[in-house]
Chain A
Amino acid sequence: MSGVRVLVGTRKGAFICTADGDRAKWDISGPHFAGWEAYHVKGSPADPDRIYASQSSAWFGQVMQRSDDGGKTWNAVGNQFAYDGDPGTHQWYDGTPHPWEFKRVWHLEPTADNPDEVYAGVEDAALFRTTDGGQSWHELPGLRTCQGPQWMPGAGGMCLHTILLDPVNPQRIFIAISAAGAFRTDDGGATWKAINRGLHSQHIPDPTAEVGHCVHRIARHPSRPDVLFMQKHWDVMRSDDAGDNWYKVSGNLPTDFGFPIEVHAHEPDTVYVIPLKSDAERYPLAGKLRVYRSRTGGNDWEALTDGLPQENCYVNILRDAMAVDQLDSCGVYFGTTGGQVYVSPDGGDHWSTIARDFPAVCSVEVQTLP
């Protein structure tokens, strides 16, 4: 029977949770990198035993880890992320110029067919790539020429947090930055364009500016690579033309502030979000933890509550902390800042707890194992 391996990054280390296809009984290992922040852990689609992890600490900086045996053992690999040339400045919170400084790796995206090739999204925002299994990392500096000096950090830092590799066109990559917006390359990263037309952000001086939007997450189904779904700071958005134009699909959501967004593994129009009360109160509305599912590609949303706490729940769900598996009955997973990791093995209808008392969860990824 096939199974799953859930990779959980937390504020105090990483955990690996494995189960068979029933996804009812879980074995948990960890904490790996105990005491360190594990911002993101992700496996290679080309080799499930190859897993990369971003390990960091305010004291000791960035460490990159690699496992070649499915997370049983780890070895530190290269951790030098040097910007290409003089990166200059971006805007600080008060609008003054601020030097570009590497702080940490937020997101890792191994490529589909080469376990040694991985993209890394970092803070201060830039995109790096390794082609030697993480031993060395090199920036794709063309991204910063898209009005980089005008970019400004979100409250969590100026992070490049989303990397979508196009399953059909290897030259096309989508990325997103808080709080600069979404960007796309069609030539393998040499040149980029801002793709924020249609976004409206009331908290910035020009609500429809080309850059400056606080995009929280973008997701898409691999069978429809031009259809993108976005959870923005406020607003759930959709694009049908690879990001050239966006339109709002918040529909009947009770609030459209949130962080993660995901698409069902087998239903390209089934989308999941977890609304939070507001940007000032980043927890579920009325203390009820509800995942919302649209089966229509947005606008029409239903609350999923079975197995989720419906009173006194005041956790956050961070942008990288939701994932889906590829099993026939698509599993949906998310982790909270309260340390809970939830699974629904039936596409969101019923939920149960994988872990109840982890440290605050930064990221959740899942590998579907043969």
Chain B
Amino acid sequence: MIRVALPLQLRELARLEGDLEVDVPPPASVRAVLDEIERRYPSLLGTIRDEATGQRRAFLRFFVCNEDWSMESPDAPLPAAVASGVEPLLIVGAVSGG
């Protein structure tokens, strides 16, 4: 079980309360986690990554165990602490706006 922290706007869009928990087969990766999130919550399609290209949206970043994973390959295996649910995968929106 992997814990995923989504920005408030996406939790509201998906009608989620609190963190999201997903199960993906090992080796867990960002791509596998996002595939599962979008399968369960189709309203989130296109909001984290482009539907056509799969590219992460520019104003979002991925953090794992205090490290910025935004530029990692989406197929890179997530650390064991994340794959086991000890640490969350953080999906963070840029702190900006008006």
Contacts and interface: CB of A to CB of B under 8 A. Distances in A.
B9 A57 contact: yes
Contacts of A75: 43
Interface in A8-60: 34-36, 57-60
A80 B45 contact: yes
Given A59-B59, A60-B57, A35 B43 contact: no
A60 B47 contact: yes
B85 interface: no
Contacts of B97: 58
A4 to B, nearest CB: 29
A80 B93 CA distance: 21
B77 interface: no
B94 A62 contact: no
A61 B13 contact: no
Interface in A209-235: none
Interface string A75-119: 110011010000000000000000000000000000000000000
Contact of B59 (A34, A36, A58, A79): A58
Measured as residues with beta carbon below 8 angstroms from the partner, the interface class of chain A is: 10 to 19
A61 B9 contact: no
A165 interface: no
Contacts of B93: 59-60
A80 B57 contact: no
Given A35-B9, A58-B59, A76-B13, A63 B47 contact: yes
Contacts of A60: 7, 9-10, 13, 47-48, 57, 60, 93
Contacts of A35: 8-9
A59 B46 contact: no
Contact of A61 (B7, B43, B46, B94): B46
Given A58-B59, A59-B59, A59-B94, A76 B43 contact: yes
Main secondary structure of the interface of A (DSSP, over half): loop
A57 B47 CA distance: 9
Contact of B57 (A34, A61, A76, A79): A61
A257 B46 CA distance: 37
Contacts of B94: 59
Measured as residues with beta carbon below 8 angstroms from the partner, the interface class of chain B is: 20 to 34
Contacts of B7: 59-60
Given A80-B52, A82-B52, A63 B43 contact: yes
Given A59-B57, A59-B60, A61-B57, A79 B46 contact: yes
Contacts of B67: none
A60 B43 CA distance: 11
Contacts of A82: 52
Contacts of A62: 46
A289 B5 CA distance: 46
Contacts of B50: 61
A358 B85 CA distance: 42
A63 B52 contact: no
B51 interface: yes
Contacts of A61: 46-47, 50, 57
Contacts of B43: 63, 75-76
Given A80-B51, A80-B52, A82-B52, A59 B45 contact: no
A79 to B, nearest CB: 5
A268 to B, nearest CB: 41
Interface string B21-60: 0000000000000000000001101111011100001011
A60 B60 CA distance: 8
Give the 5 A-B CB pairs with smallest separation, nearest first.
A76-B43, A60-B47, A59-B59, A59-B93, A80-B51
22 contacts: A34-B12, A35-B8, A36-B9, A57-B9, A58-B59, A59-B9, A59-B59, A59-B94, A60-B13, A60-B48, A60-B60, A61-B57, A63-B46, A75-B43, A76-B42, A76-B43, A79-B45, A79-B46, A80-B45, A80-B51, A80-B52, A82-B52
Given A60-B9, A80-B51, 9 more contacts: A58-B59, A59-B60, A60-B10, A60-B48, A61-B57, A63-B13, A63-B46, A76-B43, A82-B52
